Amino acid sequence: MAAERMAMAKALNSSLRKALESDPKVLVMGEDVGKLGGVFRITDGLQKDFGEDRVIDTPLAESGIIGTAIGLALRGYRPIAEIQFDGFVYPAYDQIVTQLAKMHARSLGKVKLPVVVRIPFGGGIGAVEHHSESPEALFAHVAGLKIVAPGNPADAYWMLQQAIECDDPVIFFEPKARYWDKGEVDTAGIPGPLHAAKVVRPGTDLTLVAYGPTVKTALAAAVAAEEDGVSLEVIDLRSVSPIDFDTLQWSVEKTGRLVVAHEAPVFFGAGAEVAARITERCFYHLQAPVLRVGGFHAPYPPARLEEEYLPGLDRVLECVDRALAY
Amino acid sequence: MAAERMAMAKALNSSLRKALESDPKVLVMGEDVGKLGGVFRITDGLQKDFGEDRVIDTPLAESGIIGTAIGLALRGYRPIAEIQFDGFVYPAYDQIVTQLAKMHARSLGKVKLPVVVRIPFGGGIGAVEHHSESPEALFAHVAGLKIVAPGNPADAYWMLQQAIECDDPVIFFEPKARYWDKGEVDTAGIPGPLHAAKVVRPGTDLTLVAYGPTVKTALAAAVAAEEDGVSLEVIDLRSVSPIDFDTLQWSVEKTGRLVVAHEAPVFFGAGAEVAARITERCFYHLQAPVLRVGGFHAPYPPARLEEEYLPGLDRVLECVDRALAY
Amino acid sequence: MTVERTAPRAKPRRAATKKTTTAAARKRPPRPEMVQLLTPEGERVEHPDYALETTPGQLRGLYRDMVLTRRFDAEATALERGGERGRGPSLRGQEAAEIGSGRAVRDVDYVFPTSGEHGVAWCRGVEPTLLLGMFRGVNHGGWDPNSNNFHLYTIVIGSQALHATGYAMGVAKDGSDSAVVAYFGDGASSQGDVAEAFTFAAVYNAPVVFFCQNNQWAISEPTERQSRVPLYQRAAGYGFPGVRVDGNDVLAVLAVTRAAAEHVRTGQGPMLVEAYTYRMGAHTTSDDPTRYRRDEELEVWEAKDPILRLRRCLEREDAADEAFFADLERESDTMARRVREAIRTMPDPDGMAIFEHTYADGHTLVDEERAGYAAYLAGFADHGAGHGHEGV
Amino acid sequence: MTVERTAPRAKPRRAATKKTTTAAARKRPPRPEMVQLLTPEGERVEHPDYALETTPGQLRGLYRDMVLTRRFDAEATALERGGERGRGPSLRGQEAAEIGSGRAVRDVDYVFPTSGEHGVAWCRGVEPTLLLGMFRGVNHGGWDPNSNNFHLYTIVIGSQALHATGYAMGVAKDGSDSAVVAYFGDGASSQGDVAEAFTFAAVYNAPVVFFCQNNQWAISEPTERQSRVPLYQRAAGYGFPGVRVDGNDVLAVLAVTRAAAEHVRTGQGPMLVEAYTYRMGAHTTSDDPTRYRRDEELEVWEAKDPILRLRRCLEREDAADEAFFADLERESDTMARRVREAIRTMPDPDGMAIFEHTYADGHTLVDEERAGYAAYLAGFADHGAGHGHEGV
Ligand SMILES: Cc1ncc(C[n+]2csc(CCOP(=O)(O)OP(=O)(O)O)c2C)c(N)n1
Ligand SMILES: Cc1ncc(C[n+]2csc(CCOP(=O)(O)OP(=O)(O)O)c2C)c(N)n1
Ligand SMILES: [Mg+2]
Ligand SMILES: [Mg+2]
């Protein structure tokens, strides 16, 4: 039996190790990923075991990291690039949206870029500026990228495996506040499709969608709501591009109500796309407008204010109440 | 009488000239903005009249353009930076979202950055890759920025004046396919608020929202629909951040139907935010889901395919028909 | 191989071109800042670091490459003027830089162009008409980079320097002795990506030749807007050699690029070559150089024309006869016809092509949009020409 | 003022530190790669290009600056270990680089720090406790840059080099003789933004001193991961002078930075100073240097400690008595107490502060969200502690 209880950080580390073992073309690269094992220790021990040639400390230049990862992919490698924190991905934004996302199309399919960009994202860790952002919408709008975010250790392990195997570029958002949360990981299991949403708690009164760090909050909200006699169906979206609208539709046709929770600012966030499309698909089923709860239209605040800024349990429940009030 | 018929390009040029005349702190900077007058000639003649010290040809580095514009603003200047084409703004993305958007908040209001970033955007000019994109959603999600896009010469003139006067950073998207369209510009007039949407054609059956290059398409659609006996109310959104939801709500409460048209890809585009929020505000008034028509989830295609890709008259009307069919 | 490094200097010093040289002087000429092996008058000169043996056949080959490249470029530009869509940069004047460097590398080497190296593409054996698709607006490139080890054109300036560096890091990992060449312009040298490429290449000792075509202009901006010292000097600060070569001298470019490729493939890390040349035409068909540069400048550079220069050499060395030039003109005409024909018959892509190739492994949203658009088109088929209002 | 420029070299050469020098030798010492005016033993040495006259009072002042800076840093770091939130880099070992440069500039000059130049902030007269807000997590900086001509800390490495350059371009436009100083680390030198800043500053002849604190490490990466030649050499390739100074020698840093500031404010364009120093502590409290560097390295650098060095000089030159050192210790203790107290009593910001300062001129969405959140909070006031489930 390969099932084991482990933290998400460990699951990611095991998944990277597995990939490095199974495919000599897989590379890990980024700032401090070598001897230090990354600032979150996700790459701990990998350079020791696979060498400096495969686990590569890079100069401190994010555009350079992604740009050279593209070049390595053109040469037949499968680079997994780490961006140290969400707020440091922007210097690489041009390489990601203009080159990584578009080169397959530019070549009419002749070039494939199997590059994974790992980004620890989200807040709740009491950090200084730029260390707590949720930029997924800024990538989801861009065709040519796939965007996923695991919500638990098992998904972290398997979704990373699948992202590495994928022939398209994948932005892999890791909920850093959940790195040390533990869960069962069955490394011998057979994972479902990478881009499928999952009902992580069935319910009947309202569908609550979350991904990454907010899945835990959503589950807690469902427990709390149950005490109040309300049955929430919690869906872990898992993939932000593409979005599994079929699963959402199926759920909303049943519950008639939908709330979307994410840490990113609500304005132009993933919730907007979910709301727009589900409203179109379920117009006659919805008994309330799709409501969104998430970050405010403000830069991510200093640590002492992040509880106010983030969609915590109370704000999620208040939003659920509002949706139920229709 | 200061009213005059002129092309949008000329209106923008006059507006820049006016700003350079009225405030010695105003600077124009960018690639080829000097002797050449910009690749679209929007800055034509300005360097000749205001000197190299105020109309500045920069090295070919977009991050450098925005980064030094920020420094100049810190020194008390009001730089107007030109990005040559939409697809070349991404190297400056980090400076825009991490510095330009956030420095006012970082300083708790002590620092103001009155920087205008002018970007010719949108397609329809038969250009090669990267010259026809509509990246406004990628900026609207970021708090600290204001995003506007004029749809006609008069708005181009006045909105640019207002953007330059604004103490916040403004991303000013210019619909390049409309540069040579003419319209009445009253330079002595009194403009409305910068961020207010405008009803540009009243109607009763359905509200059609557009901005920038699609306003013209929307107006044409309204004319065509009228022939079919359908009355469209066309709203020029003008501002993408903030969005004037009040005007939209007022219109939708009347018409009960809303279609949003933009060139940007629909997925995670401005239409999603409009749909989500208007559905929330007008839940009991909407007789159909808010529908969106725009670019597909694909890189902007080669010129010979752009008519298929863009939301032209037929695609807009088909979307209107679908909304009316509910 | 040694490469000169000099202190920064405000104005680039021009290499002296002597009309007559004694044998002794030819043996040990002063080391000029710019490597030149052929004067504008078509006379051979020697350089202490770069020697080049050539046969008459090779000289004729280089001449043919340059003439055909110029013709191809002229033809493509004329078609645009004639109302064809798209805008492509003109390379007129830069044929020696492209052909010299393009012929210096081997098949196993890998080239990352910027967006107009038709001459290099020609040397790599890329079918010329393939290059036209993107300027005609039927695709964004679309050739297979691996067929000729010639990457797609990259329009966003400077980006490809990083791709080339990453590719070269891979070459080093593979233990291969391929050299990688990254082209970029004087304007592009200001982009952060190029600097980062220098950093990565130096730190990883990547086998990449950075080949900068300094054609004096970035659209309307002179090179002084990018740097106050010669661009080749930038390399030293990153820990690798840089050299300036007369970019209108196909022999010097060939010799220097060959040496640079040898330098990188023998594990010595990257090298920068600055080809000092001139863009004789407008930047694109919608550009207007009279706004920013003076006719005299063009005249000066016309005297240094790379094709004229090699023709003088061919004549001087009796390496080509009338028949050769006549044949070449015919070949050139034929090629021009072929280009015009190819453009004229280039089919427009099918509308549904928008939904191809965004992803290699598929994406449900694309599937949904493809189906939706097909249904939309089918609607027209059912009901005639739809509303019939197309054309805004 | 002349500045040495040498050819690239794989390993940085250490400046020789002699124990005894004859008067003749002191007059014309060989020009070392690194400028040093004070040996680790506290002995003065001369440099052909950089002279520095000092009074005992000035030496004591520099010593006091460094001691208080180290104490402030230690106190801030200890508070974090004690469970206070936030993570800030430690500057231990870099006091000479910060105080020497901080004291070299005038009030009218303008400083752009990266994110931990507490020593420079001290020199600028910034109230020390203001610096703690961001590491305590109550704000992102929040001081007024114009109060002390000391910009906000910038965390995204390298970005501020461009802000400083733009600011300097403005200074030049104003005809002012202010100098601008941009700080950044060895790691940050790899960022494209720093290269673009070099380009802009050189092209516009902007009065900016680029001050690179090369503390040998970027978190776990040694400087060789950023460059294979000494960093000061990068400047020459952009057309301006670069110089390496012993960053643990406060006198040399003072002299060199003063000369650099003079260079830029007299219209000669930018200059790069590389202060060769060492980060003695961990990068942050959550860093673990034992994973990537060896104890012996730390020992070597402890012998070069900047504070110890100046103390030896003070003693050697009889420039300070026991009372001075005792007073300073008391002052240092008082300051530490004040810092602890300031941290302890620092009020948490009000939740509604989230809706302030995103815009200077307002934004309707912010207004709407502010109102919505206020109503949400009012809901709790009405109904007690809400669901009472906070804490996920
Ligand atoms: C990032 C970016 N910014 C702007 C442009 C627009 N542009 C295309 S070519 C060009 C000039 C390039 O000059 P140079 O690098 O010298 O190359 P040349 O065209 O002279 O060969 C510019 C500004 C671009 N393609 N990419
Ligand atoms: C763009 C960006 N990438 C990554 C980081 C994370 N980070 C913070 S400090 C640091 C090391 C910086 O090294 P260096 O420039 O040498 O400065 P030092 O901390 O040594 O003073 C890194 C990688 C960052 N702040 N910004
Ligand atoms: Mg050029
Ligand atoms: Mg460092």
- Phi/psi at D222 (5° precision): -70, 160
Angle CA B264–B176–B65, to nearest 5: 90
**pTM (predicted TM-score):** 0.95
Any domain includes D75: yes
- Interface contact A297-D363, CB threshold 8 A: yes
End of a domain among A124, A158, A186?
A: A186
D246 lines ligand 2 (CB under 6 A): no
CA C92/CA C283 separation, integer angstroms: 10
Q: How deeply is A303 buried, as exposed, middle or buried, from its count of CB atoms within 10 A (0-12, 13-18, 19+)? A: buried
D155 lines ligand 2 (CB under 6 A): yes
CA C242/CA C251 separation, integer angstroms: 18
> What residues 153-172 of chain B have any CB closer than 8 A to a CB of chain D?
166-168
Q: Can you give the pLDDT at residue D25?
A: 42
Closest ligand 1 atom to residue C185 Cα is 15
Please check whether residues C266 and C364 belong to one and the same domain. no
- Partner residue facing D358 (CB), from B74, B77, B144: B144
Q: Which residues are found with C-beta within 5 Å of the ion, ligand 4?
A: D 185-186, 215, 218
Please check whether residues C249 and C140 belong to one and the same domain. yes
Which of the residues B93, B108, B170 would you substitute to probe the D interface, choosing the one with the greatest number of D C-beta atoms within 10 Å? B108
**Mean per-residue pLDDT of chain A:** 97
* Beta-sheet strand order (sheet of B206-210): B198-201, B232-236, B206-210, B258-265, B291-295
Structurally, chain C folds into a number of domains equal to 2
Any domain includes D85: yes
- Per CB-CB distance under 8 Å, the chain D contacts of C156 are none
Please check whether residues D359 and D336 belong to one and the same domain. no
Ligand 4 center–CA D386 separation, angstroms? 48
Please check whether residues D180 and D294 belong to one and the same domain. yes
Any domain includes B287: yes
List Cα–Cα distances, D328 to A277, B154, B181, D14, D320, in angstroms: 68, 67, 73, 33, 11
Any domain includes D1: no
What is the token pair recorded at A6?
A: 């482990």
Q: What 3-state class would DSSP assign to B253? A: helix
Any domain includes B191: no
Q: How deeply is C175 buried, as exposed, middle or buried, from its count of CB atoms within 10 A (0-12, 13-18, 19+)? A: exposed
- Interface contact B143-A94, CB threshold 8 A: no
CATH code of residue C156? 3.40.50.970
- Rounded to the nearest angstrom, the minimum Cα separation between A188 and chain D is 31
**Containing structural domain, residue C368:** 351-382
Please check whether residues C315 and C360 belong to one and the same domain. no
C188 lines ligand 1 (CB under 6 A): yes
- Partner residue facing C358 (CB), from A70, A112, A143: A143
Q: Is the pLDDT of residue C135 over 90?
A: no
Residue at token pair 């300070």: D320
Q: Check: CB of residue C96 under 8 Å from CB of residue C118.
A: no
Q: Can you give the pLDDT at residue D20?
A: 38
A60 lines ligand 2 (CB under 6 A): yes
- Interface contact A305-D88, CB threshold 8 A: no
- Interface contact D220-A36, CB threshold 8 A: yes
Ligand 4 center–CA D186 separation, angstroms? 5
D383 is catalytic: no
- Nearest ligand (C-alpha, residue C97): 1
- Per CB-CB distance under 8 Å, the chain A contacts of B279 are 275-276, 279, 289-290
Q: Check: CB of residue D13 under 8 Å from CB of residue D30.
A: no
CATH code of residue A111? 3.40.50.970
The band of C5, judged by pLDDT with boundaries at 50, 70 and 90, is very low
Please check whether residues A165 and A235 belong to one and the same domain. no
Any domain includes A193: no
Residue nearest to atom 3 of ligand 2 (CA): A88
Please check whether residues D280 and D371 belong to one and the same domain. no
Q: How deeply is B52 buried, as exposed, middle or buried, from its count of CB atoms within 10 A (0-12, 13-18, 19+)? A: exposed
Q: Check: CB of residue D369 under 8 Å from CB of residue A294.
A: no
Q: Is the pLDDT of residue C10 over 50?
A: no
CA B10/CA B179 separation, integer angstroms: 8
**CA-based nearest residue in chain B for residue C194:** B61
Please check whether residues A182 and A202 belong to one and the same domain. no
Tell me if chain D has a CB within 8 Å of the CB of A180: no
DSSP B151: S
Please check whether residues C238 and C355 belong to one and the same domain. no
Q: Can you give the pLDDT at residue C3?
A: 40
| Beta carbons within 10 angstroms of residue C81's beta carbon | 8
List Cα–Cα distances, D200 to B80, C74, C227, D51, D219, in angstroms: 17, 35, 9, 31, 29
Please check whether residues B18 and B145 belong to one and the same domain. yes
CATH code of residue B231? 3.40.50.920
Length of chain D: 392
**C209-225 pLDDT per residue, tens:** 999 999 999 999 999 99
List Cα–Cα distances, C95 to C251, C280, C337, D167, in angstroms: 12, 11, 21, 42
Please check whether residues B48 and B166 belong to one and the same domain. yes
CA B122/CA D339 separation, integer angstroms: 54
Residue at token pair 């207007």: C288
- Nearest ligand (C-alpha, residue C115): 1
Any domain includes C376: yes
- Phi/psi at B170 (5° precision): -125, 130
Please check whether residues C333 and C260 belong to one and the same domain. yes
Structurally, chain A folds into a number of domains equal to 2
Please check whether residues D116 and D251 belong to one and the same domain. yes
Kindly provide the residue ranges of all beta strands, DSSP E only, lying in C215-315, ordered along the sequence.
217-218, 221-222, 242-246, 271-276
- Partner residue facing C203 (CB), from D228, D234, D240: D228
Q: Can you give the pLDDT at residue C387?
A: 47
Please check whether residues B25 and B172 belong to one and the same domain. yes
Q: Check: CB of residue B152 under 8 Å from CB of residue B215.
A: yes
- Rounded to the nearest angstrom, the minimum Cα separation between B300 and chain C is 9
Please check whether residues D147 and D211 belong to one and the same domain. yes
**Mean per-residue pLDDT of chain C:** 89
Q: Check: CB of residue D159 under 8 Å from CB of residue B99.
A: yes
* Beta-sheet strand order (sheet of A26-30): A55-57, A26-30, A78-82, A116-121, A170-175, A146-148, A239-241
Identify the weakest region by mean pLDDT among B57-71, C3-17, D89-103: C3-17
- Rounded to the nearest angstrom, the minimum Cα separation between A186 and chain B is 34
Please state the rounded mean pLDDT for residues B313-321.
98
Q: Check: CB of residue C339 under 8 Å from CB of residue C324.
A: no
Any domain includes A145: yes
- Phi/psi at C322 (5° precision): -55, -40
Please check whether residues A10 and A112 belong to one and the same domain. yes
- Rounded to the nearest angstrom, the minimum Cα separation between D350 and chain A is 8
Any domain includes D392: no
What is the token pair recorded at C47?
A: 């350089």
D167 is catalytic: no
- Partner residue facing B141 (CB), from A90, A137, A292: A137
Please state the rounded mean pLDDT for residues C172-185.
98
List Cα–Cα distances, A275 to A196, B266, B316, C364, in angstroms: 18, 13, 21, 18
Beta partners for residue B125, in sequence order:
none
Any domain includes A191: no
Q: Check: CB of residue B147 under 8 Å from CB of residue B173.
A: yes
- Interface contact B87-C391, CB threshold 8 A: no
Please check whether residues D249 and D358 belong to one and the same domain. no
Identify the weakest region by mean pLDDT among A92-106, C15-29, C357-371, D8-22: D8-22
Any domain includes C244: yes
Q: Can you give the pLDDT at residue B232?
A: 98
Nearest alpha carbon to residue C259 among C26, C55, C100, C41: C100
Please check whether residues D71 and D148 belong to one and the same domain. yes
Any domain includes B96: yes
> What residues 78-137 of chain B have any CB closer than 8 A to a CB of chain C?
87-88, 90-91, 126-130
CA C29/CA D332 separation, integer angstroms: 67
Tell me if chain B has a CB within 8 Å of the CB of C373: yes
**A124-165 pLDDT per residue, tens:** 999 999 999 999 999 999 999 999 999 999 999 999 999 999
* Beta-sheet strand order (sheet of B170-175): B55-57, B26-30, B78-82, B116-121, B170-175, B146-148, B239-241
Please state the rounded mean pLDDT for residues A61-76.
98
Closest ligand 2 atom to residue D158 Cα is 1
Any domain includes B193: no
**A270-318 pLDDT per residue, tens:** 999 999 999 999 999 999 999 999 999 999 999 999 999 999 999 999 9
**Residue D271: in which H helix or E strand, if any?**
strand D271-276
Identify the weakest region by mean pLDDT among B244-248, C31-35, D47-51: C31-35
Q: Can you give the pLDDT at residue A229?
A: 97
- Partner residue facing B63 (CB), from D140, D169, D193: D193
Residues 6+ apart with CB under 8 A from C111: C102, C105, C117, C120, C124, C149, C150, C151, C180, C181, C183
C283 is catalytic: yes
Q: Check: CB of residue A70 under 8 Å from CB of residue A76.
A: no
The band of C12, judged by pLDDT with boundaries at 50, 70 and 90, is very low
Please check whether residues A143 and A205 belong to one and the same domain. no
Please check whether residues B46 and B168 belong to one and the same domain. yes
- Per CB-CB distance under 8 Å, the chain D contacts of A40 are none
Any domain includes B210: yes
Amino acid, single-letter form, for residue B40? F
Please check whether residues B30 and B111 belong to one and the same domain. yes
Any domain includes D6: no
* Beta pairing, strands C242-246 & C180-185: unpaired
What is the token pair recorded at C137?
A: 């607006």
Report chain D (392 residues): mean pLDDT per 10 consecutive residues. 39 37 48 92 95 97 98 85 60 97 98 96 95 92 97 98 98 98 98 98 98 97 97 98 98 98 98 97 82 91 96 97 98 95 92 97 98 94 55 42
Any domain includes C4: no
End of a domain among A186, A209, A240?
A: A186
D277 lines ligand 2 (CB under 6 A): no
Q: What 3-state class would DSSP assign to A173? A: strand
**Containing structural domain, residue A246:** 198-325
- Per CB-CB distance under 8 Å, the chain C contacts of D239 are 8, 10, 227-229, 233
Bigger pLDDT: C281 vs A121: A121
Tell me if chain D has a CB within 8 Å of the CB of A313: yes
CA C244/CA C36 separation, integer angstroms: 9
Please check whether residues A177 and A227 belong to one and the same domain. no
Q: Is the pLDDT of residue C18 over 50?
A: no
Please check whether residues A135 and A242 belong to one and the same domain. no
Tell me if chain A has a CB within 8 Å of the CB of C167: yes
- Interface contact D163-B146, CB threshold 8 A: no
Angle CA D47–D51–D55, to nearest 5: 130
Q: What 3-state class would DSSP assign to A183? A: strand
Please check whether residues A277 and A218 belong to one and the same domain. yes
**C381-392 pLDDT per residue, tens:** 776 544 444 444
Q: Can you give the pLDDT at residue C84?
A: 52
The band of C89, judged by pLDDT with boundaries at 50, 70 and 90, is confident
